[in-house]
Structure 1
């Protein structure tokens, strides 16, 4: 399939223009295309009885986009082209007044969610397991402590709990 548009010009320039002059040549070519399209637009507006386009940055940006879109039209195999003939701008404002009877519940839920997140970050979770096994003369107690954060106070807290609950200091490895 033959190429057209700016891609075909780029291929031609790569084949025929020295590499150190390609940037300058492509800039000149784009300026020429923009200028030709601008003149064509001015003539068309004059024939339609419209005011000429101003020569400013916004018009130049529009002309550049128009050149790019005309070049890319070759890439779309659509058999139809649409043209905008008329446009009438309609301005409208929409204001909505609503009553939300559950907004206080939503605000309360948001506040509880925020409090829960901060509690999750700052409150340490500790679990204590006590296993009582019967023996001939009474019961044997085994304790364990689990925490979600390893702190220096965990071993000390476990020793205090063991002393308070079963009256002896912990044996073996405390965890």
Structure 2
């Protein structure tokens, strides 16, 4: 906060952003050197100077500047860590599992049946004519297949007993 107030008080407004960037770069360099010295004292390999390390150092500077705004008066440090691995097995009895498996199998069969079974609808309209009835037929399908016209003609012959007299478009 003090550095920010110093920049606002002493640096012209058009140059404040550039001055802030220079200051962050200087702080990043100083923190990087401090981190390298600390790692050398601990017997660790030095950090590489790459984009990932630069981003880490920038986040470190920002976290240090925000540390004063953190409401807790305590800073915690992880000193030791021991990883414990465990496996959990659960034995349960599910009396309805066979019904669920059957339902899943029927669902899968239904999905595959939707891919291969064509949906066809046949309408027959009977109107009185003279002493008998006049039948008008129509058919629709959800897929365009070349055999639709031939299939409609076969159904008309089977239902009415005579070949269709009108158009056979679907």
**TM-score with structure 1 setting the length:** 0.64
Following superposition, the deviation at residue 72 of structure 1 comes to: 3.5
Farther off after superposition, 145-154 or 125-134: 125-134
Q: Match of 2:100?
A: 106
Gaps of 5+ in 2: 8-14
8 Å CA contact 2:118, 2:143 repeated in 1: yes
Higher relative contact order (CA 8 A, sep 6+): 1
Structure 1 CA distance for aligned equivalents of residues 158 and 131 of structure 2: 21
Following superposition, the deviation at residue 146 of structure 1 comes to: 0.8
8 Å CA contact 1:42, 1:52 repeated in 2: no
Structure 1 CA distance for aligned equivalents of residues 18 and 53 of structure 2: 23
Structure 1 CA distance for aligned equivalents of residues 65 and 159 of structure 2: 82
After TM superposition, list the pairs within 5 Å mapping 1:106-145 onto structure 2: 106-145=100-139
Structure 1 CA distance for aligned equivalents of residues 108 and 68 of structure 2: 54
Structure 2 CA distance for aligned equivalents of residues 61 and 139 of structure 1: 87
Structure 2 CA distance for aligned equivalents of residues 61 and 93 of structure 1: 37
Structure 2 CA distance for aligned equivalents of residues 166 and 67 of structure 1: 86
Cα distance, 1:129–1:160 mapped onto 2, change above 3 Å: same
Following superposition, the deviation at residue 117 of structure 1 comes to: 1.4
Q: Match of 1:19?
A: none
Following superposition, the deviation at residue 70 of structure 1 comes to: 2.8
SS state at 1:115 partner: helix
Q: Match of 1:53?
A: 44
Q: Say yes or no: does 1:84 pair with 2:91.
A: no
Q: Match of 1:69?
A: 59
Structure 1 CA distance for aligned equivalents of residues 66 and 16 of structure 2: 18
Q: Say yes or no: does 1:11 pair with 2:2.
A: no
Structure 1 CA distance for aligned equivalents of residues 20 and 80 of structure 2: 43
Aligned residues: 153
